[in-house]
Structure 1
């Protein structure tokens, strides 16, 4: 009679065995995202690797945290990923946009699919359908408002290429986490190539328009803000989140550390800049130093006039009572200012584009502009302002053409001042 096989793992620790392909597989029961207990499998190159991965999932399950399983539907997995993973990595407004994207597009289109059976073809078919489907009809808005397909006149309101690309990126991020947790062998969404959306067109201010803008701004209460926006290229949130302690008016510099944003839970709040590159120290033009000092004096007068109702926020740009300026109100105020100044309508962000464009046209190095704008990579700067660089290239070529001429004329060679390497 053979001796009974010795049990090496306790109850609840799952099972571990080596597969034919050499990898180790561990399996155990965990709390799934839908509230039931389901069997989950993880893989590792060694027995210990697989055991550690399974132990981590069982520990999370015992703490009441749901664990995604491969036999979950895409909809259940996306809910788990959004509520247990992405919420810890994303800023609140980004998390809200992800949630909206999942609710409106991903869950209706792919939510019923099994996560483990999701294929590249499924993703490609979903994205193709998303590009061509009228969203009024898909979201049921035509029935609610009694228009579009509900009255037999579809408006064919399809999503932009930019939105489709965003939906694709959210799906890729979610599935990438499933791969990292060994729930999927590969990210099928990465195998789908979408059409790159055309960059949003913007029309920056010309040099003449910029001078007109600055001239009109001198009579505005937020003169210093408009000066900083056009002369330094700071983002709207960075300007509204600027604190007096960040300004060194004697040294002529400012440190960009915060961005004022409205969130669903905290309302208007100053958040750290989105990336490390966005947190930067920049030099201030003399005009900005003068206008900031003048603004400081005006704010002190408003403080005295407000008396006890003054809210000491420490912000440079505030309401007449010291509170933070709402970014949405700033957008409306900016539109009214352009109308009074007789300037064409542009977005506030186009002031930033105007700064970079004017600097490029004056021959300022792209690296300097990248640091000023706080871009994470120089490729971002080069990509956004490719149209300006192309125009400068054409001007350079025409300059060279003037030197070389168009025929075999006997021109006197220009004096050479330096060796080109």
Structure 2
């Protein structure tokens, strides 16, 4: 009878691994922690190989000098680790910048000294309540340099909006969710805290009459084709500015949305992927847009000749007179001037997108078609954003049915 083959002993530094009484596998080893010390971490899995691979990955990251947050870390250390080692690889740069500001201004001052493993739902709820009711000028010393208001004992009561408090809560939930996935925490305590629902931002889309006035005023503008596209197709500002001529098939009458032009903190004006996977789409172009785009193409060719050697060929459909990308902030300023010339009330550029969807809904276009045109990831997003339109459409539908059935109700069933 042959003796059972003994498993090869793990080398020094590879950690330990064993099977628990509940059948799961557990492995432990020492890694570089977020505070610079070396701490023992534990990982779990359903098989020995899976668990060993998890631990090996942690140790490999540690050997490359990448810190691994542990449950013994303070929340401040863990959030910095998560931002710089995890979130930075998963988020768009502008989103990462907003997350970092949220962590720096609110989460670390409010919860940074708490141990991750000892954080409770009550801690999170107390923090959010305090954030909701505390003057931010007092908390962050915003008036100190100017010696105004809060700095001289006259609190301005500048509180965070419910939307911002919800955003802070969502950032904390995202960070702790990573700790749960990495088996550092058994559950995400931030998910057990319910924040008060905030009122969605109200937008005031253009009416059909206002939309016609806007398009009439835009015809004299150099960027007439851009405004026409924005109102007739609902493209986002970044998608419009990121359109290349190769994305436009003027013969087939289609546009393929692949990129978005954004200004980032490190790269300046940068071509980025679309907002979501659903945002990458092909849309049909109205006849009016095809005419204005052809005119715009001819104008751009004249500008190219006039600019001569100063022309910078970017391949973009909408550029400055010398071929350079248009800055989103400059487009916003131009848009406000156009509204003034048209004698229209001030709205955001993004409200052109809302105007497109609202006008289409009022014309009876199916919600699924609008969802695909706008590039929403889920139809629930479309239905939620434009919920304010549905009651009016329902009333019109009910009134139509009343007309069809008659108002007297005197007919007898046969």
Q: Same fold by TM (over 0.5)? A: yes
Gap change, CA 1:154 and 1:406, over 3 Å in 2: farther
Structure 1 residues not aligned, in runs of 5+: 1-5, 414-421
Q: TM-score, normalised by structure 2?
A: 0.94
Greater mean deviation of Cα atoms: 272-281 or 341-350: 272-281
Aligned to 2:4: none
Structure 2 residues not aligned, in runs of 5+: 1-6
Give yes or no for contact 2:44–2:51 (8 Å, CA) kept in 1.
yes
Give yes or no for contact 1:137–1:148 (8 Å, CA) kept in 2.
no
Aligned to 2:369: 368
Aligned to 1:418: none
- What is the rounded CA distance, in whole Å, between the counterparts of 1:393 and 1:46 in structure 2? 56
Aligned to 1:204: 205
Q: 2:181 matched to 1:193?
A: no
Aligned to 2:109: 108
Aligned to 1:220: 221
Cα shift at 1:100: 0.7
Give yes or no for contact 1:319–1:325 (8 Å, CA) kept in 2.
yes
Cα shift at 1:19: 4.5
Cα shift at 1:60: 1.2
- What is the rounded CA distance, in whole Å, between the counterparts of 1:112 and 1:21 in structure 2? 34
Aligned to 2:315: 314
Cα shift at 1:36: 1.4
Aligned to 1:416: none
Q: TM-score, normalised by structure 1?
A: 0.93
Greater mean deviation of Cα atoms: 135-144 or 22-31: 22-31
Aligned to 2:339: 338
Aligned to 1:389: 390
SS at match of 1:144: coil
Aligned to 1:283: 284
Cα shift at 1:147: 2.1
Cα shift at 1:178: 0.5
Greater mean deviation of Cα atoms: 224-233 or 34-43: 34-43
Cα shift at 1:7: 9.7
SS at match of 2:13: coil
Aligned to 1:25: 26
Give yes or no for contact 1:18–1:25 (8 Å, CA) kept in 2.
yes
Cα shift at 1:400: 2.5
Runs (4+) of structure 1 exceeding 4 A deviation are: 17-22, 403-408, 410-413
SS at match of 1:346: coil
- What is the rounded CA distance, in whole Å, between the counterparts of 1:40 and 1:234 in structure 2? 48
Gap change, CA 1:40 and 1:249, over 3 Å in 2: same
Give deviations 1:48-106, integer Å, cap 9, x for gaps: 44333222211211121111111000010011111111111111111111111111111
- What is the rounded CA distance, in whole Å, between the counterparts of 1:24 and 1:359 in structure 2? 56
Aligned to 2:329: 328
Give yes or no for contact 1:137–1:149 (8 Å, CA) kept in 2.
yes
Aligned to 1:83: 84
- What is the rounded CA distance, in whole Å, between the counterparts of 1:78 and 1:120 in structure 2? 17
Give deviations 1:130-151, integer Å, cap 9, x for gaps: 1111111111102222223222
Aligned to 2:354: 353
Give yes or no for contact 2:141–2:151 (8 Å, CA) kept in 1.
no
- What is the rounded CA distance, in whole Å, between the counterparts of 2:133 and 2:58 in structure 1? 40
Give deviations 1:279-323, integer Å, cap 9, x for gaps: 111111111111111111111111111111111111111111111
Give yes or no for contact 2:313–2:323 (8 Å, CA) kept in 1.
yes
Aligned to 2:153: 152
SS at match of 1:69: coil
Please provide the CA RMSD for this pair: 1.9
- What is the rounded CA distance, in whole Å, between the counterparts of 1:374 and 1:257 in structure 2? 11
SS at match of 1:387: coil
SS at match of 2:277: coil
Work out the number of aligned pairs and report it. Answer: 408
Give deviations 1:207-226, integer Å, cap 9, x for gaps: 11111111111111111111
Give deviations 1:198-237, integer Å, cap 9, x for gaps: 1110111111111111111111111111111111111111
Give yes or no for contact 1:75–1:112 (8 Å, CA) kept in 2.
yes
Aligned to 2:131: 130
SS at match of 1:221: coil
Cα shift at 1:405: 5.3
Give deviations 1:1-58, integer Å, cap 9, x for gaps: xxxxx99333222233454555443222111112111121223344444333222211
Cα shift at 1:196: 2.2
Aligned to 2:11: 10
